[in-house]
Structure 1
C-alpha cells in the first residue's frame, strides 16, 4: 500500500483543501513503528491503554480478549438490515482497528478534557498541553456552506480531530466507519461534555441524531426532532439515488429485451492493471462477462451491457452497495485496451473511489 501511493495522482496542493484518506493513517502507523522500534499495536497498548486502565480495549479484533460480548456489523442488503462479514485487514489497524467500549473510551475522552493529564491528582500525563493545543489547532480549512444547526462559522481539520464552533463553543469531533460499524466521538471542552456513540450498523444519521439530541440539551435548544430531521434527509437522498440506479437497470432490461446481436465478449476479456490497485480480470462465464479483482477479492461480479462500450458491474456481495460503470476504450482492431470506472449511486461510500482507477490491458 505504501509503495503504491506514489502512483496516485495528486489532485490538489498540500493542505490547500480537505480530503480524508485512511491510507495516510496506515502510513502514520508505520512511521510510529519505525521511530519507536515496536509495532503500532504494542506502542498504543503500552503507552495509552495500560496507563489509562483501558483493560477492555484492543488494537485489533484479533487482540480482543473476550469475544463473547462483541458486536457484529450490520448493513442493509436488498432492503433488509442483516449481519455482514467483519471486513478488515490487520495492516490497516492504525486507521481503524481499535475495539473498545463506552467505559474505556470515556477514559480517553477525560484525558483529552484534561490536556493529556490523568491520575488521581492529574499528576501523570500522556501528552503535553502544547501537543494537545496543536491537535486542536486548525491545520486544513473546511468550507462551511449555508445555514447550520448550531450557527457554525468555521470548520477545519486539526491533527486527527474535526474542529468547528457550535453556538460559540469549540467542538472537537471525529467519526469512524467500517462496513457495518460506524461511530462518533464529540467533545465540547468548555462544557466538559463528551459524547460517545458506537453503533453496529452503517448509517451515520443514527449517531448524528443521538449526538445532536444530547448537544441540544446542553445548548438550550428545544423543539427540534433530530431523529425526524435526519430520517427525512436520509429518505430524500435514498429516494433520489434509487431513482438513478432504478432507471439504469430499466435501461439494461430494455436492451436485453430487444434481442439485439450480443457483443463479442472476447473483445473485452483479459487482465488489466492499475498501478495503484493492481490486477483485475475480465473473464467469460456462461456467455457473460465477469469482473474479478486480484487483490480485493470481494470486488467480484457479473457485468451487464449498458450503452456503447459501457457495462454495469453488479457486485456479488450486495452489502457493498457500490455497483459501478465499467467503461472500455477500444484499440484500432476493436479490442478493449483501457478501462475507467465510476460509481452509479451518488450515495456510494467514498471508500470506493472507482473514478481514480486507470486500468490498462496487460494480456
Structure 2
C-alpha cells in the first residue's frame, strides 16, 4: 500500500517522487522484489511493496511480505541485553566469562577481559567474518561454535581495531540465555516482539513453514544482466542472535518507532532512555577512506555502537545497519533528530538498499537537487567491473595444455582433521574423488583435477554464498600428502582458517 494524503502532510518529502524513484531503482538494479516503510514523527508515512516474491513463480510483494532481515537482528539482541541491564541483572562492562565461564579465546588475557560491549562493537581482535564457517550450514550448537572459537587467530590488537563479528552476537545470545534461563528466541519474542504487537515476526527460519506471503531469496545471476536465480531459505538457528529474524516492513516499522522513541512504544517502556543512549554511543571508531570522504564530505566519523553502526551525514547523526542473508539484503536507517526511520527489505543480493536509503534521507532533509545515489552507485559498480576486467586482461594467460596428474587418485583418499572445524573426508567412488565434511553435511562435493595436487570443488549444493573453491593437498617431507586446504576468493567466508592435517 502507498499511504495517502493525510499522512503526506506529515512527511515533509515528496512521497510520489520517492515512489517513482523506488520503482525505477528496482528495475535498474535488477532486483526481483523489495518493500520499504518510512516512519516520521511516530507515524508510518509510507509503506509499499515492489516487484515479485519469486522471479519464476511471481506473486506480488506487499507491505506484509516477510523477508529475512539478517544482521539487522543484531540491534534486537543489543536491546534484549539492555532490558537485562535495566533490570539490574547485567552491566555493560561485565566480563563475558561471568556468564559463560567455559569461554576461551585466542589469549588468556582477552578471555578474562572481554566484556559485553566488546561483543557488540566488533573490537575483539578478529578480522571481519572470522569464524563464520563455524555456523554456516554446520551441525554445531551455539555453545559448540564458541568453544571452537579459541582456535581463531587475531588480526589486530584487542580493542585496537574493527572486525565485524557474528560470533560476538552468538556469544551475546548465550549470555541472555545464561541470565534469563530462556533461549534467545524466547526472550526476544516475549520481551520485544510480543509487546510491540509484531505478530508476523519470526525468530527462526524454521517458524516459516506454512506461513503465507514469504519472499523467496535470490542468488546473483551467473551472467551479467541475467535474471536473479531463486533459491531456498536455509535455517541456521545457530546464528539466530546475530541474524535470525524474519519480518515485514510494516511489522519492522513498530521497531523503528520504539527506537526513535528511545525505548518506548505506545506509552510502554521496553528499555530505558539511558540504554538507548548507550547503544547509540560510538564504542569503536573506524577510519574513513579517502574515496568515501570525497563522495560524502559531510561525514566526519564512522564506527560501531552496540548492535548499530554510526556516522554523521549532512549535520545529523545516523544510526544504521545492514543485513545480508543468503539471497536477501536489507537496511535500516534512523535519523533521530528528524524523528525519521527507514527500513528496506529485498529478496536479492544486490546493494540497492544503501543508495536508495541515502536518497530518501536527502529528500526528508530537503536536499531535493542532490545526487542521484542509485545511479551514482550503479555507475561506480560498472567502473569497478570494467577496471577489474582490464586488470584480468593484463595478466598472462596460461597455455591451454593438457596437464596430467602424476599421482594415483588413492593418494588423496583419507581423513584430514581441523581442531576448529572437525574432519574433511576424501573418498574415491566410481573413480571420482569426493569431499565430505561431517560438520557441514550440506557442503562438500566432487573433486575434479585442475593441476598437480589441486582440484576444483564442485559444490553439491548451489548455495548463493558459495564461490568457486579449490581443494589443495600439501605434501610432507617424504612426499606423501599430509595436509588439505580449501582455497576460495569468498567475501563472506575465510576458508583459509580451516587447516586440515591427515589423521588416516
Q: Contact between 1:327 and 1:339, CA under 8 Å: does it hold in 2?
A: yes
Q: Contact between 2:262 and 2:276, CA under 8 Å: does it hold in 1?
A: yes
Shift of the alpha carbon at 1:104? 1.5
Which of 320, 332, 356 in structure 1 is aligned with 2:497?
A: 356
**Higher deviation after alignment, 211-220 or 283-292:** 283-292
Deviations 1:260-316 (A, max 9, x none): 354433222211121222111223344443333222233223334445443332323
Describe the shift of the 1:320–1:176 C-alpha distance in structure 2 as closer, same or farther (beyond 3 A).
closer
Which of 195, 207, 211 in structure 1 is aligned with 2:357?
A: 211
Describe the shift of the 1:61–1:321 C-alpha distance in structure 2 as closer, same or farther (beyond 3 A).
closer
Q: How many residues get paired?
A: 351
Counterparts of 2:444 and 2:391, CA distance in 1: 22
Q: Contact between 1:170 and 1:189, CA under 8 Å: does it hold in 2?
A: yes
Q: Contact between 1:315 and 1:322, CA under 8 Å: does it hold in 2?
A: no
Instruction: Determine if the alignment matches structure 1 residue 272 to structure 2 residue 428.
Output: no
Name 1:69's counterpart in structure 2. 213
Which of 218, 235, 243 in structure 1 is aligned with 2:382?
A: 235
Name 1:155's counterpart in structure 2. 302
Shift of the alpha carbon at 1:127? 1.0
Q: Contact between 1:15 and 1:139, CA under 8 Å: does it hold in 2?
A: no
Counterparts of 2:151 and 2:269, CA distance in 1: 40
Shift of the alpha carbon at 1:247? 10
Q: Contact between 1:268 and 1:335, CA under 8 Å: does it hold in 2?
A: no
Question: How do 1:187-206 residues align onto structure 2 when only pairs under 5 Å count?
Answer: 187-203=334-350, 205-206=351-352
Describe the shift of the 1:92–1:260 C-alpha distance in structure 2 as closer, same or farther (beyond 3 A).
closer
Q: Contact between 1:57 and 1:64, CA under 8 Å: does it hold in 2?
A: no
**Higher deviation after alignment, 316-325 or 167-176:** 316-325
Name 1:144's counterpart in structure 2. 288
Describe the shift of the 1:259–1:173 C-alpha distance in structure 2 as closer, same or farther (beyond 3 A).
closer
Question: How do 1:86-97 residues align onto structure 2 when only pairs under 5 Å count?
Answer: 86-97=233-244
Q: Contact between 2:309 and 2:321, CA under 8 Å: does it hold in 1?
A: yes
Name 1:40's counterpart in structure 2. 184
Describe the shift of the 1:68–1:243 C-alpha distance in structure 2 as closer, same or farther (beyond 3 A).
farther
Q: Contact between 1:111 and 1:117, CA under 8 Å: does it hold in 2?
A: yes
Which of 480, 495, 498 in structure 2 is aligned with 1:335?
A: 480
Q: Contact between 1:183 and 1:207, CA under 8 Å: does it hold in 2?
A: yes
Name 1:325's counterpart in structure 2. 470
Which of 25, 31, 39 in structure 1 is aligned with 2:175?
A: 31
Counterparts of 1:321 and 1:229, CA distance in 2: 28
Counterparts of 1:221 and 1:136, CA distance in 2: 28
Counterparts of 2:394 and 2:177, CA distance in 1: 49
Deviations 1:247-267 (A, max 9, x none): 99x85x934xx2535443322
Unaligned segments of structure 2, at least 5 residues: 1-144
Which of 134, 150, 161 in structure 2 is aligned with 1:6?
A: 150
Counterparts of 2:424 and 2:388, CA distance in 1: 28
Q: Contact between 1:156 and 1:164, CA under 8 Å: does it hold in 2?
A: yes
Question: How do 1:110-125 residues align onto structure 2 when only pairs under 5 Å count?
Answer: 110-119=257-266, 122=267, 124-125=268-269
Shift of the alpha carbon at 1:194? 0.8
Counterparts of 1:321 and 1:245, CA distance in 2: 22
Shift of the alpha carbon at 1:244? 8.3
Counterparts of 1:340 and 1:247, CA distance in 2: 28
Alpha-carbon RMSD: 2.6
Describe the shift of the 1:171–1:328 C-alpha distance in structure 2 as closer, same or farther (beyond 3 A).
same
Q: Contact between 1:323 and 1:343, CA under 8 Å: does it hold in 2?
A: yes
Shift of the alpha carbon at 1:326? 3.0
Which of 218, 232, 249 in structure 2 is aligned with 1:85?
A: 232
Q: Contact between 2:405 and 2:452, CA under 8 Å: does it hold in 1?
A: no
Name 1:166's counterpart in structure 2. 313
3-state secondary structure, aligned to 1:215: helix
Shift of the alpha carbon at 1:236? 4.1
